[in-house]
Structures are given as C-alpha cells and as structure tokens.
Structure 1
Amino acid sequence: MATDTIETNLKENRVFKPSREFARQAHVKSAAQREALSKNAARRPEKYWEKQAAELKWQKKWKKTLEWKPPLAKWFVGGQLNVSENCLDRHLTGPRRNKAAIIWEGEPGDTRTLTYHQLHRETCRFANALKNLGVRKGDRVILYMPLVPEAAIAMLACTRIGAVHSVVFGGFSSQSLRDRIQDTKAKIVITSDGGYRKGKAFGLKQQVDDAVEECASVKKVVVVKRTDQTVGWHPQRDVWWHDAVEGQSAENIPIPLDAEHPLFVLYTSGSTGKPKGILHTTGGYLTVAASTARQVFDLKEDDVYWCTADVGWITGHTYVVYGPLANGATTFLYEGAPMHPGPDRFWSLIAKYGITIFYTAPTAIRAFMRLGDSHPQKHDLSSLRLLGTVGEPINPKAWSWYHTVIGGGRCPIVDTYWQTETGGIMISPLPGATPTKPGSATLAMPGIDAAVVDKNGKEVPNGKGGFLVIRKPWPSMLRTVYGDPERYKKQYFSEFGPKLYFTGDGARRDKDGYFWLLGRVDDVINVSGHRLSTMEVESALVAHPQVAEAAVVSIPHEIKGEGIAAFVTLRRGTEPVAATTKELEKAVVKAIGAIARPDKIRFTDALPKTRSGKIMRRLLRSVASGEAVSGDTTTLEDFSALTKLQEED
C-alpha cells in the first residue's frame, strides 16, 4: 500500500428512519436498544456469542467459548451439535412441523412445496443413501446442481452424517469443477442432468463426466433427473438420485459433531491459479448464520423470505438454506433467469407467493431500474415489508429506486456487508432500529469489532477513507484456506499483523460512525498520488438521470500514473451524444472533484458480468488498456458483452 489512506469525497445526507409501526414489532426496536446491545457485546464479546449460541440445540455444551491463538480461532470448544438437527428436527414437535420450509418454482413454472416434516423425511432418506454409497464422517462431497430443492436436501444430508460439502456453482466450467474436486479429494459428486435458464435446458452431467476423468478420488456420481435430457452414463459409477433414495428409511439419527468439525468448503470465484477453498466449521458458523438472519431480516413466523442467490455462493449457504431454516422460516427458491420469460418475472413471483422479505444484489436492481418502473408497477408488491441488498456497495440512486418503486417507500432496506470468509453479515442496519442512509451499510453488527485503519493499522478519523479490518475474532470466521494454512495467514492476517483480519476492502466512516464501503482495495485508482474509490466515481455517474449502470477501472497514464476509464450503460431508449460525455464528466467533478474526472468514457449496451451478477472489472481493465483478456472467464454470463467491447476497441 503506497499511501496511508483512500480519499473519499462523495456525500449523501438523506436519512430514512424506521417507521414506528415497523419498529414496534421488530426484534430490535430502537437505536438505543441496538446501541446497548452493541456496547454490551463489545465489553463482553464471549458472553454475547454464548447467548446467541444458546438459541441453538446442542447435544453437548461447550467447555470453552473461545480459544484464540492469533490468527487461529476455535469457538465453543468441546461442544457438540448437528446443523441438520437444528434446521429440521427441532421444528418438528410444534406447529412448524407442517409449515412450508421450502417453496420452489422452476423457470418453466413447475412448483414444489416442502413442509419441515417433508424436508426432514427427504433429508433423512438421502442421508441414508449417501451412507449406502460409502460416504462417512469427514468425507468431502461436491454439489454441482441447478437451484432445485435437492440442492438444499443434499447440503442438509451431508451435515446430518458429518460429511463436508463443497457446492460448485452450476455456471462454472468442467475445468473449474475438476480443480475443486481435486483440491478437496471429493468422494462423491452430486449433480443433475441439467437445469433451465433463459427458456432453455442446459446440461451439467457432461461437465461432470469431463471433470472426473482426472479425479481418481470420485467413486460415485449421483444425478438428479431435472430436464429429461439424454446424458452419458457410467453404470459402475453413476446412480440416479431417485434410485439412490428408493427404499431408504425416512429416519436417520443426526450424529453429534464437534463445534469445530468442518461443515463446508466454498471456493471464492474469479481467481486465477489454484482455487482458494474457504473452510467453515459447524458451531460458530451456524451461531452467526442463525442470529444474523433473525436480527437483520427480522424473521417472523408468517414471513415468506426470498434471497435470490444461488446456493453455489456463500449468500445461498447462509441466507437461503442455513440461516432461514435454523429459524424455522419459509425460504423461497427460484431456479431460473430473473427476466424470463419477461422482465417482470421477479415481481410476478413476489405477488404470486406473497413474498414479505426480498434480498438481492445491487447489479440486479440496476438492471431492473434500467427497464423503467412499468414492469414492477404491473404487480401487487404490497406483501413486501423488508428489502435487502448484498454482494457489493449499492449506489444511492439505485437504493432510492429500490426503496420507492419496489418498497413503495414503506420498506426498510438492509444494505448488508460481508464476505465468503466472514460466513455471515458483518455490517448492516437492523431494520427496526437503524436510520438508514442510501449507499451506507451503516453499523457493525453486535459482536463485530470493525474499524477503518491506515496502512500502519491505526484507526483513522471519521470522514477519512482507509482499509476495513475486523479487530477481534467472531464465531463464523473462516478457519483456514483448505489445505493451505500459510495462504490463510498471508491473505488475511499479514497486512496488519496476526490479530487484525483484513477484508481487502476500502471504507470510511461518516460523522455518525456509519460505514461506507469503497470497494476492493485492488479497485482503488491512484491518480497523481490520490487514491480514489471506483465505487464513488461510479455512484457519481449513475446519479445522472440517463445512466443505468457504470463501471470504472484504471488505465495507465503517462503523467498521472493511472487514469480513469468509465464504461457506461444508458437507460433504455437513450442514445449517447457528444454532450452526454461532457455532462457525465461535469457530474463527477461536481460530486467528487476535478481529480476524479474520467479520462475516457465509453458507452455500451451491456457490461460483462458473472452469473451471480458481479461486474468483471478485471476484463474491463484489459479492454480499456488495450491488452489481451487473460485469466478465468468461466463465470462470464454473456460472452457477447465482452466480444462487442473488444470489437469496438
């Protein structure tokens, strides 16, 4: 890090307080209550986490809450529990037994509903099938599936018998799948013949066949029949899911697992070279998943909760499956593309199922915003009571559209900050307690000691940008990089010493102590010695009424060292003219200052994104600099967006 801090100039002064009606029924009802909760947690963090852990069912109480030998942590040492039991069995003795656990709709419109009783039965049957296939405690199991109920069932079945699951997003290539199988030395792969996206069936089984050719550890491949497409078959290795569960008992006793027993390995996306497997363990992870789902989403018995993430990402693990089910909530799953068969598919699903809580990514919000207000306005969205965002900072303009058009001005927005590595939400409003500001994730969660520091690890004053760290261990923190403990230390605990976890993100705090995320430190642009946040420049561009989306990257500059290149997508029906470029330059200068004036502005119909909706700025950086695109592009959703940019270059 060449300079101490990151410069930050963008200002946002609007404040939205929770309504009295919402606050009255919320789990945390006021800013004062949240402040007291946070102060008590800061004073006695272990006591706070003990209380959260006590909400779970433990088969054996822990002897020691925290064992901290920086940078290695163990939580709830000596305790034993089972994740599947906490997500299923403990809900079967009361009214939740016949409550919907999962409501699912496939892209073609087919539907399924599983009550807690039914989900428990299916999980037990598949757990017994896995045992019959030779899976034992500690074995690794790879999941490579569409977003169907069997994905959640397979995850829960693994946890029931102590197998370690690793979910690989179905958009990854066979090579990416092979790398993850080899890294985990997985014994079983669970997949599907395929799934549906954008009106077409896509295949998955062939990618598995290609991948396991070089994976001697794989003994069996279990295949869900989803699309009825013809697939290659290896009789000694392959087994259909329905054949595997046929005749299996619907009873399976969940085995007690140590709190530090590995729960899952999840690989971070977009990296080149050896994949980085993030290892999470049983007790600490579930404690944070359950407590943050309850606090941040204010879950109630009658909620129908929809997080739009795929289970191939950490958001799908924590806030599609484990967090909601541990709280006995109803979680909604949708298999396909957000705009098929029409741009109002999401809004039609909200109306059809009476969704009350909706949690999605800013990139999806911006895409919907670009299409205008007419599509959501065709549907009754009055069931919504809470909105959330995840995955990247949300610019104030998109926040405002989400609040007004989707939330009708009545729904609080929880802008959540966290990572694959953190396991659960680290910074977020609590919807009944926290006044929100468009674009700010607001305050650290109780029990989380987050700070903004300079390059020496010293906390910077409010208003000044710096590097986001977490100063004390928390239960759901990653335990290691799978098979590479030195990489764990170097990646997360070397920049500021073994006690400070470095998130890799820039941030600032305003006069009220609210956190504003500035994006990855790697995305900070050094213009003439000024370190500028790409997120702030993007927000200034998107604030222009004609702009739907923007991505900003650095380019080499002979004088300034680095210059600023902006890729801009205009709202539908708007054509770029020479004056538009000048207007956008002026908008950035007005919002941030002359130092942030873009050197290049390029207009494009679409930005290259991953299947999870994140803009691939690395590719844009190559295009803007006139370099050949290199590195992993297997997660790219639409290659034509990249190809068109390269042709225009």
Structure 2
Amino acid sequence: MSTSFNIGSLALQGGAHCVALDAQRRYSADDLKLRVEALYQSLVQKDEHHVGVWLTNPWDFLCVFIALALAGKRIVMPHNLQAGTADCLGQHFSALISDDPALALHSSYWQLEQLLAETDNPADLGEQDINEQVELVLFTSGTTSTPQPIAKTFADLHCELAELQQVFADAVAQHPVLATVSHQHIYGLLHFLLWPLARRAPIMLEAGHYPEVLAGQVAQLAPVVLVSSPTHLSRLPQTPVFCQQAEGLAAIFSSGGLLAETDAQAMANIVGHAPWEILGSTETGGVAYRRRSESSFWAALPGVEVEPTAEGQLRVRSAHLGGLHEFVMGDKVEFLADGRFHLLGRADTVVKVEGKRLSLSEMEARLSEHPWVQESRVAVVRGRRDEVGMVVALSEVGLSALHNEKKLFINTTLKNHLSTYFERPLLPRRWRYFTTLPRNNQGKVVAATIQQLLSEREH
C-alpha cells in the first residue's frame, strides 16, 4: 500500500490549528514546527546514532521523536525504565533523552532543556520528509521476562497509519483525542500521537487515568476519541461521573489485551456503541479489528493477510511487518468463509510437572468455566519440588464466596473442579486471589509478575 503522508513533512507544515493542549495552554502546529527544528539542529550535530527516548510528557516526546527521525537517528523506545529494565536495555542505545536524571546508565544522557539551549538559530527545514528507512526499536513487554528488540522503519509506521485512516476516517474525523495508555508503546504511539497528527486532530496531554479526570476532559472537548485499554474500560461504566459524559465519546479504541464481552456491552450501553477493538502485538503492529455491537468476529486491516497454520494458530503477513516475512501469533483461530475469524484462546503452552505434561492454557480455560472465576493465569514454580500455582481474578460471585468462606474452602472447591480434567500431581498448590489480574501499563499480564506473586510467601 502506498502511503498518503509522511510524519516529518506533516510536523513541519506549521499553522495556527491546535496540535496538543493541556490545562495551561494550547500548542499550535507553528509551535510544533519551531520546536522540532530547534531539536533537530541540536541532534543532527551529535555523533551518537542509537538514541533512547523516555519522556513522560507526550508533547515533549512527540517533538523529540520527530526531530530524531528527521536527523536520521535510530530511535530506541524502552517499554519502561525501571532499574533492572534500564540496565538490560542500555546496550541498545548510545545516548538517552529522558526527564529522569536519577538514571545511572553507561551512555550519554541528554535532557530536553539542554538540547534546546544548544540551538542558537534553528534553520527552516521547509516541509522535509523523514527518510522511510529510519528505524524505530521497540521491545516486547507482555509475555516473556526478557524483552526482545523489534525493529520497524518509518515506512512501516506510515503504512499502518494509512491503513487505520482507510478504515476509521469517518469515525474519528478530526475530533480531539484522549488517552489512558502510554505513548511509549506501539499502540499509544500510533493511535494517540502519530495518527492524530496525520489527520490534524488535537491531543489532550494529560492522561485520563482517573474516571473523574476523563469525564472532565470529555465535557470540555466533546465529541472526542478515546484511546484506551481493557483495564480502564472495564472500570468506566461503574463510575457515575463518567457515565454522565459518556455520550460525548465519538469513538473508543481498545488494545493491549482482549476486552471482555461484558465490558464491551457495558460501554455500549452507556455510550451508544461498543469500542473498536484492535488485535495486534509489538511484533505485528495492528492486525485486525472488530466492534462487538456489530460483530464478534475479527476482520483483517487493509494490507494485512491472515490465515491459520497447520496447528490452528494465526499467521500474519502485512505491508507493515517490517523485516519479518511473516509472524505466527500465539492465538488459536477459527476462520469463516469470508475471511473473518474468531479467537479460540492462546495456543497451548505445554510444560512438564513432576514428569507429567500440563497444558497451561487448557488449565486456565477449564478454571474459567467455574462461576467463581473471571480470569486466571497459571505458572509453575520450580524448586526442590515443582508446584503449579494459579493467580485468579474472581467474579462477583467468587468474591462473595471468598468473603463468606475461608480461603482454604475456595482453594479446595476450585481444585476439585480442576480434578475432573487433570491428574492430582498437576493440580495447583498455590492460589492467589484478586479482583482483577495485575497488568502493566500496556494492559498486559506479565509472566514475570505472575511468577513473582506465586513465589512470594503468603502473609
């Protein structure tokens, strides 16, 4: 697919229209052009080529991101900069631009104000395009304990943006965009920063993490587009102050995990339409979309080809897949004759416990059949004796049972339910109960977090 725009020239067009706003001020396209040119002038003179970026303010991030790309730098986007992650990912960049001066990394460290102060008289770049072969490096963050680098080019980004515009242009128009997700992840980067810029829609810089804040933003800017995740969308219908403003949402996007059918319906009840759900990953970018008020089946985005593997998993080929020829996702699928498909759950993850084979995905699926269970994750805690553990998000009925009965009774009841399907040595010995599963800021359940919860002693 040929792209219809380039982020570089779009950012340098200038103009009086609003690009971003917060409680203090509005930033125009002229403001964006001047700041990008100033940063470009500083960055293009630096020898470091692989540059990491961690800036919490979306406006700062957008300006630096575009300036780096125009300067031809390889942009590295850590998914977080906790001490352990920073030490692990530091090998991927020779300089870091961040607003956290406490970071102690073996690389050059540049603050935003320092870069701006180095520029005396920035040159007018005109409407210069970003070279489409400039690379962006992201990291997988949700399913494994070791982040893996994923390289994409700006050609990939431009292509995916064109695909989104082709499908959703009428729904999003030039409505202001609100977000509850991080711009440091591919979903937030595309849907909250780059796509609004491409269609000249302003973004609200303050994240709407709290329903009260989000409701105020909707009241101020309606009609709006909301870029969110299943974690946040599951809570919003329970907040009266948000429900009073919900009709101001022209479109809602959800990604970073699967939105429960009950949550999609709850949003549809208060907004008038269900969220657009985007299926994808860091490796693949966007793959498919659906809207539960119209269909429960997924349809591939333009330029994306999907098919089942011999094992029934989802194989993806797309125009924005970067250097990968194809990618097999960890989802089981069932296809309709018209090419749409239904997800059947994660592909089996088979492990050995006490010499016996255990399908982790099957155990999670079986446990979710019990009325007390909303969602669960299973893991094996290795030690002198291998033990299966289960982290469970209880349903309202399950939470009531836990309140009225001892935890041992809940453990035994759920274990008895699983004993219908699994041998005794495979049954969970460790149980942890929550109202929702712990997720990272991209809405993913992280395997390492599940392992840590099960490894800790109960108090």
Q: Verify same fold: TM over 0.5.
A: yes
- SS of the residue corresponding to residue 25 of structure 2 reads strand
- SS of the residue corresponding to residue 322 of structure 1 reads helix
Deviation at 1:111, TM superposition (A): 3.5
Distance 1:581 1:454, change over 3 A: farther
Contact map agreement 1:537 1:596 (CA 8 A) in 2: no
1:115 and 2:28 are equivalent in the alignment: yes
Match of residue 648 from structure 1: 458
Partners in 1 of 2:376 and 2:204 — Cα distance? 31
Deviation at 1:205, TM superposition (A): 1.0
Distance 1:522 1:191, change over 3 A: farther
Partners in 1 of 2:134 and 2:224 — Cα distance? 33
Match of residue 347 from structure 2: 521
Distance 1:297 1:331, change over 3 A: farther
Match of residue 278 from structure 1: 150
Distance 1:603 1:205, change over 3 A: same
> Among residues 150, 153, 165, which one is paired with 2:60 in the alignment?
150
- SS of the residue corresponding to residue 265 of structure 2 reads helix
User: Comparing both chains, which one has the higher relative contact order based on Cα–Cα distances under 8 Å and sequence gaps of 6 or more?
Assistant: 1
Gaps of 5+ in 1: 1-48, 57-81, 193-203, 225-238, 456-465, 481-498, 629-645
Partners in 1 of 2:281 and 2:403 — Cα distance? 36
Deviation at 1:315, TM superposition (A): 1.1
- SS of the residue corresponding to residue 155 of structure 1 reads helix
> Among residues 171, 174, 191, which one is paired with 1:319 in the alignment?
191
Deviation at 1:380, TM superposition (A): 1.8
Distance 1:277 1:449, change over 3 A: same
Match of residue 8 from structure 1: none
Distance 1:619 1:345, change over 3 A: same
> Among residues 212, 226, 234, which one is paired with 1:344 in the alignment?
212
Q: What percent of counterpart residues are identical?
A: 15
Match of residue 398 from structure 1: 263
Match of residue 249 from structure 1: 122
Deviation at 1:400, TM superposition (A): 1.6
Partners in 2 of 1:535 and 1:400 — Cα distance? 24
Distance 1:126 1:567, change over 3 A: same
Instruction: Within 5 Å, give how 1:55-134 maps onto structure 2.
Output: 55-56=4-5, 83-85=7-9, 87-90=10-13, 92=14, 97-103=15-21, 105=22, 110-132=23-45, 134=46
Match of residue 382 from structure 1: 247
> Among residues 313, 316, 327, which one is paired with 1:467 in the alignment?
313
Distance 1:531 1:611, change over 3 A: closer
1:507-565 per-residue CA deviation (whole Å, 9 max, x = no partner) reads 33468754333555365789977774577568656xx5x87x633214589xxx99783
Partners in 1 of 2:363 and 2:11 — Cα distance? 43
Contact map agreement 1:525 1:564 (CA 8 A) in 2: no
> Among residues 182, 185, 190, which one is paired with 2:97 in the alignment?
190
Partners in 1 of 2:362 and 2:25 — Cα distance? 44
1:358-413 per-residue CA deviation (whole Å, 9 max, x = no partner) reads 121112223446xx343423x422221222210111221222222223x2xx2242
- Aligned residue pairs total 443
Deviation at 1:502, TM superposition (A): 1.3
- SS of the residue corresponding to residue 399 of structure 1 reads helix
Deviation at 1:155, TM superposition (A): 0.5
Deviation at 1:282, TM superposition (A): 2.1
Partners in 2 of 1:596 and 1:382 — Cα distance? 47
Contact map agreement 1:416 1:427 (CA 8 A) in 2: yes
Match of residue 411 from structure 1: 273
Which amino acid in 1 is paired with 2:8?
A: S
Match of residue 305 from structure 2: 449
Distance 1:263 1:556, change over 3 A: closer
Match of residue 101 from structure 2: 205
Contact map agreement 1:123 1:157 (CA 8 A) in 2: yes
Deviation at 1:326, TM superposition (A): 1.9
Partners in 1 of 2:362 and 2:217 — Cα distance? 36
Distance 1:596 1:399, change over 3 A: farther
Partners in 2 of 1:280 and 1:402 — Cα distance? 34
Instruction: Within 5 Å, give how 1:468-483 maps onto structure 2.
Output: 468-470=314-316, 472=317, 474-479=318-323
Which amino acid in 2 is paired with 1:243?
A: A
Contact map agreement 2:8 2:129 (CA 8 A) in 1: no
Deviation at 1:222, TM superposition (A): 2.1
Contact map agreement 1:519 1:535 (CA 8 A) in 2: no
Partners in 1 of 2:395 and 2:291 — Cα distance? 34
- SS of the residue corresponding to residue 318 of structure 1 reads helix
Contact map agreement 1:525 1:532 (CA 8 A) in 2: no
- SS of the residue corresponding to residue 610 of structure 1 reads coil
Partners in 1 of 2:332 and 2:223 — Cα distance? 34
Partners in 2 of 1:524 and 1:393 — Cα distance? 22
Contact map agreement 2:181 2:441 (CA 8 A) in 1: no
Match of residue 428 from structure 1: 289
User: Please, what TM-score do these two structures have when normalized by structure 1?
Assistant: 0.59
Contact map agreement 2:432 2:453 (CA 8 A) in 1: no
Partners in 2 of 1:334 and 1:596 — Cα distance? 48
Contact map agreement 2:50 2:92 (CA 8 A) in 1: no
Deviation at 1:328, TM superposition (A): 2.3
Contact map agreement 2:12 2:126 (CA 8 A) in 1: no
Partners in 2 of 1:302 and 1:256 — Cα distance? 23
- SS of the residue corresponding to residue 152 of structure 2 reads strand
Contact map agreement 1:100 1:114 (CA 8 A) in 2: yes
1:559-590 per-residue CA deviation (whole Å, 9 max, x = no partner) reads xx99783512455995533499599969x99x
Distance 1:84 1:256, change over 3 A: closer
Partners in 1 of 2:184 and 2:160 — Cα distance? 19
> Among residues 606, 612, 620, which one is paired with 2:450 in the alignment?
620
Q: Which moved more, 1:150-159 or 1:299-308?
A: 299-308
Partners in 2 of 1:167 and 1:401 — Cα distance? 34
- SS of the residue corresponding to residue 334 of structure 1 reads coil
Distance 1:164 1:427, change over 3 A: same
Distance 1:254 1:540, change over 3 A: farther
Contact map agreement 2:72 2:131 (CA 8 A) in 1: no
> Among residues 218, 229, 233, which one is paired with 1:365 in the alignment?
233
Distance 1:595 1:348, change over 3 A: farther
Which amino acid in 2 is paired with 1:177?
A: A
1:565 and 2:424 are equivalent in the alignment: no
Instruction: Within 5 Å, give how 1:152-171 maps onto structure 2.
Output: 152-169=62-79, 171=80
Contact map agreement 1:525 1:563 (CA 8 A) in 2: no
